[in-house]
Amino acid sequence: MPEPTTTGWYYDNPVIPGFHPDPSVCRVGEDYYLVCSSFEYFPGVPIFHSRDLVHWRQIGNVLDRPSQLPLPPDASASDGVYAPTIRHHDGRFWLITTNVSSGGNFIVTADEPAGPWSDPVWIDLPGIDPDLAWDEDGNCWCAFQGVGVARIDPETGKVLEGPLPAWSGTGLQWPEAPHLHRVGEWWYLVIAEGGTERGHTVAVARARSPRGPWEAAPVNPVLTHRGTDHPVQSTGHADLVSTPDGEWWMVLLATRPRGYSPGFHVLGRETFLTPVRWEDGWPRVGPVNLRERAPGRPRPLEEAPRRDDFDATELDPRWISPRSRPDDSWSLTRRPGWLTLHATGSSLDHPGCTFVGWRQQYPESRTVVRLDPESGRAGLSVRLDEAHHYDVEVADGRASVIARIGPLRQSTATRPVPPGPVTLAITTRPARERPPADGEPSGLHVGAPDFLAFHVGDDPEPLAELDGRYLSTEVATGFTGRVVGVYVTAGTASFDWFEHGPLDAQEHS
């Protein structure tokens, strides 16, 4: 939580931790709204609300119906929905994004940010990372990866002019994530380049019109942490927003690598916040710190609970599933106060299984669930994709810990459990805290970002402990981060409650 000081108050980055990349933000009066990429997960595009740019609360998902988010059953991990942009214009909220698995670029709209949002209006433009901006004459401009711009009719998706070439950066790879902002008499084009890994940068150009010609900032990139030992890395894919008091801020993605070279960012790319100052008509930014001076006065929202008792009539918007969530795969009414899941696939190793989870948001975390296996095979899993996940599951009177790492699948430990409900827990801790066990190679966890311990019932001794590096982007590749959740791969099982939060001081000691 932010700490007040005699000169103001400070906040901790990231402001939205966990797998929340490619942030885009807009302000309406004194309220801010932010969206992120969701890739192969359904529902898609989480939307957040804040009153101070620091405290954020998820209020829904923009793409919460299959008609808005058609994803093939076999869509690859890290495909799906890329890089949304959210804007407010003429009394409506507008969101443009790309479904790389089906259909390309499209726009949805809503009167209220929590929805409902419209079905897609498709746009015949190339690339990804589309952006929306309106000029003083009411023309709508769409910028996209490359970088190009086009004048469009946002109601129909028709391209009215262009696409026109725009400024494509300083020559680094992957000029992308363009955002157009009108500030005074200038249009500013903010882009990312250098790739979304450690070479990521933010660069800026300006013009008198969205048509150009574009003038590059005298010092580009305006932000990068490449080649440094800063604890925050991969800074890029940024968007700008001003406060009611006229201050400017930037939201962006970045990572917090841990462990030995090359470093592993297990939570994915996260949303950070950093101040922007204007000098000689150009934005100046950075570096992005883990602790920053906050804008204005703190106006915290009610904090989202870290436990779900499944007493509501609908699932909390934080729950996501790979590709789809068929109506017949889950129920909150079959057993009131429980989440009941029905198997739709026989293994987490393949698409089509029943899995619902939350994004892991804490580097040192504890996730606990109360499971009644009923007639099924079910458990708790930390997932990166079908080829990279760790599970603790119960079936046929036994609890097992299973590791899937690339082509390898292994049951690492097993023990009997009594009939009826059982508590399962997964904790993550820094690897440096764990000494090698008797008979274990001393280098097993050397340099790992963390290790995961799997607990069954009240037993304080873990059933197994596994190296966390294999559930990282550096190993698995892709664009996502860990998602921890519950699943069923045979029959039916029910879950009484689910809790995910940071380790407290006692648990961490």
pLDDT, tens only, 209-242: 999 999 999 999 999 999 999 999 999 999 999 9
Residue 203 has pLDDT above 50, yes or no: yes
Q: Catalytic: which of 22, 40, 393, 465?
A: 22
Which pLDDT score is estimated for 433? 55
The mean predicted confidence, pLDDT, of the chain is: 94
Amino acid (1-letter code) at residue 261: S
3-state DSSP assignment of residue 122: strand
- Give the whole-angstrom CA distance, residue 448 versus residue 464: 16
Residue 440 has pLDDT above 80, yes or no: no
- Give the whole-angstrom CA distance, residue 375 versus residue 250: 50
Residue 190 has pLDDT above 60, yes or no: yes
Confidence of residue 447 (pLDDT cuts 50, 70, 90): confident
Q: Are strands 398-405 and 291-293 parallel, antiparallel or unpaired?
A: unpaired
Which pLDDT score is estimated for 437? 63
Residue 266 has pLDDT above 60, yes or no: yes
Contacts of 432 (CB under 8 A, 6+ apart): none
Confidence of residue 443 (pLDDT cuts 50, 70, 90): low
Q: Which residue has the higher pLDDT, 314 or 505?
A: 314
Q: Once rounded to an integer, what is the mean pLDDT over residues 55-73?
A: 97
Share of the chain above pLDDT 90, in %: 90
Chain position carrying tokens 């040192």: 364
Confidence of residue 438 (pLDDT cuts 50, 70, 90): low
Share of the chain above pLDDT 70, in %: 94
Which pLDDT score is estimated for 286? 82
- Give the whole-angstrom CA distance, residue 306 versus residue 369: 12
Residue 2 has pLDDT above 50, yes or no: no
Confidence of residue 442 (pLDDT cuts 50, 70, 90): low
Q: Which CATH architecture has domain 24-227?
A: 5 Propeller (2.115)
pTM higher than 0.85 for the full model?
Answer: yes
Confidence of residue 295 (pLDDT cuts 50, 70, 90): confident
Q: Once rounded to an integer, what is the mean pLDDT over residues 388-398?
A: 97
| Cα torsion angle, 125, 180, 237, 14, sign | negative
Which pLDDT score is estimated for 71? 95
Which pLDDT score is estimated for 431? 77
- Give the whole-angstrom CA distance, residue 252 versus residue 92: 24
pLDDT, tens only, 119-175: 999 999 999 999 999 999 999 999 999 999 999 999 999 999 999 999 999 999 999
Q: Does the active-site annotation cover 22?
A: yes
- Give the whole-angstrom CA distance, residue 211 versus residue 208: 8
Which pLDDT score is estimated for 467? 94
Which pLDDT score is estimated for 68? 98
pLDDT, tens only, 314-347: 999 999 999 999 999 999 999 999 999 999 999 9
Which pLDDT score is estimated for 445? 57
C-alpha neighbours within 13 Å on the C-beta side of residue 360: 31
Residue pair 245/459 in contact (Cβ under 8 Å)? The answer is no
For residues 32, 282, 254, 123, the Cα torsion angle rounded to the nearest 10 degrees is: 70
- The angle subtended at Cα 370 by Cα 365 and Cα 371, nearest 5°, is 120
Residue pair 415/429 in contact (Cβ under 8 Å)? The answer is no
Confidence of residue 294 (pLDDT cuts 50, 70, 90): confident
pLDDT, tens only, 95-114: 999 999 999 999 999 999 99
Q: Catalytic: which of 176, 372, 385, 391?
A: 176
Q: Which residue has the higher pLDDT, 502 or 444?
A: 502
Which pLDDT score is estimated for 16? 98
- Give the whole-angstrom CA distance, residue 20 versus residue 418: 39
Neighbouring C-beta atoms of residue 12, cutoff 10 Å: 15
- Give the whole-angstrom CA distance, residue 125 versus residue 131: 12
Q: Does the active-site annotation cover 239?
A: no
Which pLDDT score is estimated for 248? 96
Confidence of residue 4 (pLDDT cuts 50, 70, 90): very low
Which pLDDT score is estimated for 508? 38
Query: Per-residue b/e over 319-356, b at no fewer than 16 CB within 10 Å?
Result: bbbbbbbeeebbbbeebeebbbbbbbbebbeebbbbbb
Confidence of residue 509 (pLDDT cuts 50, 70, 90): very low
Question: Which residues in the chain are classed under CATH 2.115.10.20?
Answer: 24-227
Q: Once rounded to an integer, what is the mean pLDDT over residues 428-441?
A: 69
Which pLDDT score is estimated for 434? 57
Which pLDDT score is estimated for 8? 63
Residue 265 has pLDDT above 70, yes or no: yes
Class of domain 307-508: mainly beta
Question: Which residues in the chain are classed under CATH 2.60.120.200?
Answer: 307-508
Q: Once rounded to an integer, what is the mean pLDDT over residues 166-192?
A: 97
